């Protein structure tokens, strides 16, 4: 399982990376952590004319808080995010989701930008970006632009990135007050891709009813999905077991075109959505109560 031949570039600035992408006319691939790309190269499922390495570019790895939001550089390793005290404190959902990614050795190399750009339907970071209405900053030949997470994930392994664009940063909100969270997934083995996963935040009003609810599903469709029907059902209601079960059913029913493979049929995935949503909301609710 050896890769087909390719040219290799390791630019030292983002601008160079963008020009190289342009010069290769859409036939090149960026390498960040490489944990998704190199297996594809080894299996000859990816056959780029060139591989453009982002690892020599300084200034792309950082975790900062700016005005109530976290700004994370695209080349920040998942390991750094996992160990960041700032993340654990200000956006514990991101911390928890990071711990679910594969295994430590993968997280030592994998990056947040790479994970978002690769857009695997079962990956945790795309789902989280969608749940938290993250903003992705990208650089292309026409300059910088921001893409909302809701617009970023187009279909299976496909994002709104133009062929010569590079993700440079992701911004997401810190967890608001009185907000509980949960991220649950079901996989065949510990660390495997989720057959179905649910991420949720529940913000409670002072009186105890649900002020805001975010429910994102991953692993079940070509992209992560916001379970908007379930979210609407939850807003304004008091948190109860029955409500969460109903929300779970609503989330499941709204999944059109569920994925189906040897590990899980579409029907089973939808069922898992309903179970995991209910369980995640229950967990988030108790965290909200505790905070």
State how far the Cα of 112 lies from the Cα of 125, in Å rounded to an integer.
7
- Quickly count: other Cβ atoms within 10 Å of residue 283's Cβ: 19
Which of 26, 27, 105, 238 contacts another protein by CB under 8 A? 105
State how far the Cα of 153 lies from the Cα of 160, in Å rounded to an integer.
6
Structure tokens given for 62: 């950082």
State how far the Cα of 35 lies from the Cα of 277, in Å rounded to an integer.
29
CB of 258 to another protein, least distance (A): 13
Mask 218-257, x = binds another protein (CB under 8 A)?
A: ----------------------------------------
Contact between 16 and another protein by CB under 8 A: the answer reads: yes
Which of 108, 140, 212, 229 contacts another protein by CB under 8 A? 108
DSSP, collapsed to helix, strand or coil, labels residue 114 as helix
Structure tokens given for 199: 């991420």
Which of 18, 41, 170, 210 contacts another protein by CB under 8 A? 41
User: For the packed helices 241-253 and 266-290, what is the interaxial angle rounded to 10 degrees?
Assistant: 140
CB of 256 to another protein, least distance (A): 20
State how far the Cα of 106 lies from the Cα of 115, in Å rounded to an integer.
11
Which of 60, 79, 118, 169 contacts another protein by CB under 8 A? 79
Any alpha helices (H) in the chain, and if so which ranges? 14-23, 37-42, 78-83, 85-90, 92-99, 104-109, 112-118, 124-131, 149-152, 228-234, 241-253, 266-290
Q: Which stretch binds another protein (CB under 8 A): 90-98, 163-171, 182-190, 198-206?
A: 182-190
Which of 133, 192, 212, 237 contacts another protein by CB under 8 A? 192
User: For residue 183, what is the DSSP state?
Assistant: E
Which of 25, 44, 232, 238 contacts another protein by CB under 8 A? 44
Q: Which stretch binds another protein (CB under 8 A): 99-107, 148-156, 197-205, 218-226?
A: 99-107
Which of 14, 28, 34, 127 contacts another protein by CB under 8 A? 34
> Which residue ranges make up the site for another protein (CB under 8 A)?
1-12, 16, 31, 34-35, 38-39, 41-44, 50-51, 53, 55, 79, 102-106, 108-109, 186, 188-193, 195, 261-265, 268, 271-272, 275
């Amino acid at each position: 399982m050896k890769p087909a031949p390719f040219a290799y570039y390791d630019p030292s600035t983002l601008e160079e990376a963008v020009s190289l992408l342009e010069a290769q006319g859409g036939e090149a691939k960026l390498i960040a952590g490489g944990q998704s790309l190199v297996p594809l190269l080894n299996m000859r499922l990816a056959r780029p004319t060139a591989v453009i390495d982002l690892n020599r570019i300084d200034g792309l790895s950082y975790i900062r808080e700016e005005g109530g939001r976290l700004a994370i550089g695209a080349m920040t390793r998942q390991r750094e995010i996992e160990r960041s005290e700032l993340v654990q404190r200000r956006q514990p959902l991101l911390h928890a989701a990071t711990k679910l990614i594969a295994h430590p050795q993968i997280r030592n190399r994998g990056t947040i930008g790479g994970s978002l750009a690769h857009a695997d339907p079962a990956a945790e970071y795309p789902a989280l970006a969608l749940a938290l209405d993250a903003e992705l900053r990208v650089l292309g030949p026409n300059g910088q632009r921001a893409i909302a997470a809701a617009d970023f994930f187009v279909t299976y392994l496909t994002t709104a990135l133009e062929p010569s664009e590079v993700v440079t940063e992701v911004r997401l909100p810190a967890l608001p007050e009185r907000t509980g969270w949960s991220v649950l997934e079901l996989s065949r083995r510990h660390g495997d891709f989720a057959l179905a996963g649910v991420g949720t935040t529940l913000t409670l009003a002072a009186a105890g009813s649900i002020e805001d609810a975010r429910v994102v599903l991953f692993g079940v469709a070509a992209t992560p999905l916001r379970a908007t029907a379930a979210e609407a059902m939850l807003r304004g209601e008091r948190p109860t077991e029955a409500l969460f079960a109903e929300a779970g059913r609503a989330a499941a029913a709204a999944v059109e075109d569920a994925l189906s493979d040897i590990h899980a049929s579409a029907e089973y995935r939808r069922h898992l959505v309903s179970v995991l949503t209910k369980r995640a909301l229950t967990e988030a609710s108790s965290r909200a109560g505790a905070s």
